[in-house]
Amino acid sequence: MPPFQRWRCRNCGLVYDEALGLPDEGLAPGTRFADIPEDWYCPDCGSEKSDFELIET
Amino acid sequence: MTTPPAPPRVPAELAAAVVDPHAYAQRERVDTALARLRADLPLGLAEIEGSDPFWVVTRHADIKEIERQADVFHNGDKSTFYTTRDSNARVQMLTGGEPNLIRSLVSLDGKEHKDLRGVVFPHVTPRAIKPMEEAIRAIARDFVSQMLSAGNEVDFAAEVAFLYPLRVIMTVLGVPAEDEPFMLKLTQELFSNADPELNRARAALSPEELLKSLWETTMELEGYFKAVTEKFRANPTQHINSLIANATINGEYLNHRQMMGYYIIAATAGHDTTSNTVAGAMWALAERPALLGQLRADPALINAFVEESIRWEVPVKHFMRSAVADVEIGGQTIRAGDWLMLNYQSANRDEAVWADPFDFRIDRKDNPQLAFGYGVHVCLGQHLARMEMRILWEELLPHLTAIEMAGPGERTISNFVCGPKHVPIRFKAA
């Protein structure tokens, strides 16, 4: 299994960590960013999924 | 036992400049002071007679880090904007012990902030505002038409930039057009109270008189919005003011201060910030003749133009935060209880992020400007603001072949929410 990745919203800095998911938003721990529906948006600022950038490790 | 080193002190003349409303009106003065601080003391303690000491945070990275840690750096424990001890004492007397005259989203923390933000947030996401695009475009066309038919000279700030975002936000809120002059006047009284041309008294005021006039403006706004609540509870709509009037948290309507704070922030910050940015963008255009040609030749550049104008104008000059724990930021130890000024004008001129921060450029590959803030307090209306600015330029620029300043521009005297108040231009219509 490839390692989990982290993604950051360009507009507000919210970090989506695949390992943790966002349970309050209905995204279970382990949910890959690629598996999040395309119409999902940042729960803090409303930016679209395409506004998230991969955090390089 | 060793004594911790004393925090580095901001030189008195630089501390004075970062809080002086006149320094922001003469932009170079505050930019020079902030550039010196970024170079020599990017995070230092300012001690100004009559005020509590506060850290001046000037670097982009430090401001982002503080905003990211919203659980450690609170908005509402102390005044959310710079104030003196005397003014703060009077505010506490008027509000029954609160540090801010208005209890709005920008001065709330934690669950209360999250709950209140959630009332409007789903209605201002990019997807939610997309259906408004045509209605906003119609408003933009009206203003473009008025401007073009009134001759070839206009004070773009007063005639277009102040009025177009006002019409947009009032439409979204559900405020009738005939109330727009009232809302503009009270917004200017609130945000421009240090400027004798725009404040309530139309005069230079002492700190005590300024606070009294702010309180009178707030009370007048509350009187107006009391009727708004009654109207929208009787006949709910999808307008933002109706959402605020009818919102419940744990089965209860918002309390008086929460509701009034929400109405006031939406009705004032919802247009004044965009107005300042639009006015500043036109000023930048008028001083750079090649820019208009570039934008006309390739309208896809308008998004970059909007983003650069937000970086350039940075209409909210600062917000204050207070630490609730000891924490290290930018090599300094911030103690629990410390008060900090996040200077967004400085963040958006940070040489560590932009190699040429004092150039207005629309070809930047990355433009991580912080004018909307960052983290959970990032501007609620940022997507609407960007959309309405893009639409205005899409509608206006094809009609113009040349723009130049027709006289000196002038900035509002304020250290908080401000920008150009006069941008006289001369233009050639296509």
Start-to-end CA span in chain B (Å) = 75
pLDDT score of B389: 98
- Minimum distance, in Å, between the CA of residue B375 and any CA atom of chain A: 5
Contact A12 B376 (CB under 8 A): yes
Domains and CATH numbers, chain A: 6-54 (2.20.28.10)
pLDDT score of B5: 78
pLDDT score of B1: 54
Length of chain B: 430
Task: Quote the CA–CA distance of B413 and B98 in Å, as a whole number.
Answer: 27
Torsion of CA B298, B304, B310, B313, to 10 degrees: -60
pLDDT band per the 50, 70, 90 thresholds, residue A53? very high
Alpha helices in B132-174 (DSSP H): 133-149, 156, 164-173
Q: Using alpha carbons, select from B429, B391, B399, B381 the residue that is nearest to residue B138.
A: B391
Asked if residue B340 lies in contact with residue B323, where contact means CB atoms within 8 angstroms, the answer is: yes
Checking A1-6 for CB contacts under 8 A at 24+ apart, the result is: A4/A30, A5/A32, A5/A33, A5/A54, A5/A55, A5/A57, A6/A54, A6/A55, A6/A57
Asked if residue B308 lies in contact with residue B368, where contact means CB atoms within 8 angstroms, the answer is: no
Q: b or e along B397-417 (b: 16 or more beta carbons within 10 Å of the residue's beta carbon)?
A: beebeebebbeebbbbbbbbb
Length of chain A: 57
B64 touching chain A per CB within 8 A? yes
- Minimum distance, in Å, between the CA of residue B249 and any CA atom of chain A: 18
Task: Quote the CA–CA distance of B47 and B84 in Å, as a whole number.
Answer: 11
Which residues of chain A does B121 touch, with a Cβ-Cβ cutoff of 8 Å?
Answer: 46
**Domain spans, chain B:** 12-429
Torsion of CA B140, B145, B147, B153, to 10 degrees: 140
Which residues of chain B does A12 touch, with a Cβ-Cβ cutoff of 8 Å?
Answer: 374-376, 378
Q: Which of residues 370-429 of B touch A (CB under 8 A)?
A: 372, 374-376, 378, 382-383
- DSSP character string of B291-359: HHHHHHH-GGGHHHHHHHHHHHH-SB-EEEEEESS-EEETTEEEPTT-EEEEEHHHHTT-TTT-SSTTS
Asked if residue B87 lies in contact with residue B101, where contact means CB atoms within 8 angstroms, the answer is: no
pLDDT score of B7: 92
**Cβ contacts from A onto B, under 8 A:** 34
pLDDT score of B207: 82
Q: Using alpha carbons, select from A2, A9, A1 the residue that is nearest to residue A25.
A: A9
Token pair of B23 as six digits:
């320094």
B243 CB contacts (<8 Å, ≥6 apart)?
B119, B120, B123
Contact B374 A46 (CB under 8 A): no
Task: Quote the CA–CA distance of B158 and B135 in Å, as a whole number.
Answer: 22
B175 CB contacts (<8 Å, ≥6 apart)?
B183, B228, B241, B267
Count of Cβ atoms closer than 10 Å to residue B280 Cβ: 25
Q: What is the torsional sign of CA B131, B135, B137, B139?
A: negative
Which residues of chain A does B64 touch, with a Cβ-Cβ cutoff of 8 Å?
Answer: 13
Q: Which of residues 235-254 of B touch A (CB under 8 A)?
A: none
pLDDT band per the 50, 70, 90 thresholds, residue A57? confident
Q: Using alpha carbons, select from B341, B337, B365 the residue that is nearest to residue B353.
A: B365
Cα Rg for chain B, rounded, in angstroms?
21
Asked if residue B290 lies in contact with residue B391, where contact means CB atoms within 8 angstroms, the answer is: no
Interface test with A, best of B71, B378, B382 (most A CBs within 10 A): B378
Q: Using alpha carbons, select from A23, A48, A18, A20 the residue that is nearest to residue A33.
A: A18
**Whole-number Cα distances in Å, B78 to B64, B74, B260, B345:** 20, 8, 20, 22
Distance of CA B114 to the CA centre of its chain: 20
Which residues of chain B does A41 touch, with a Cβ-Cβ cutoff of 8 Å?
Answer: 125-127
pLDDT score of B192: 86
Count of Cβ atoms closer than 10 Å to residue B96 Cβ: 7
Of the options 3.30.750.24, 3.40.640.10, 2.60.40.150, 1.10.630.10, the CATH number for the domain spanning B12-429: 1.10.630.10
Alpha helices in B72-179 (DSSP H): 85-95, 110-120, 126-129, 133-149, 156, 164-173
B73 touching chain A per CB within 8 A? no
Closest Cβ–Cβ partner in A10, A44, A46 for B383: A46
- Minimum distance, in Å, between the CA of residue A15 and any CA atom of chain B: 10
Angle, CA of B102, B105 and B106, to the nearest 5°? 80
What ipTM was estimated for this complex?
Answer: 0.80
Which residues of chain A does B125 touch, with a Cβ-Cβ cutoff of 8 Å?
Answer: 41, 46
Count of Cβ atoms closer than 10 Å to residue B28 Cβ: 9
Asked if residue B23 lies in contact with residue B309, where contact means CB atoms within 8 angstroms, the answer is: no
pLDDT averaged over consecutive 10-residue blocks of chain B (430 residues)? 81 98 96 98 97 98 96 98 94 94 96 95 93 97 97 97 96 94 90 88 87 91 94 96 97 96 93 97 97 97 98 98 97 97 98 96 94 95 97 98 98 96 97
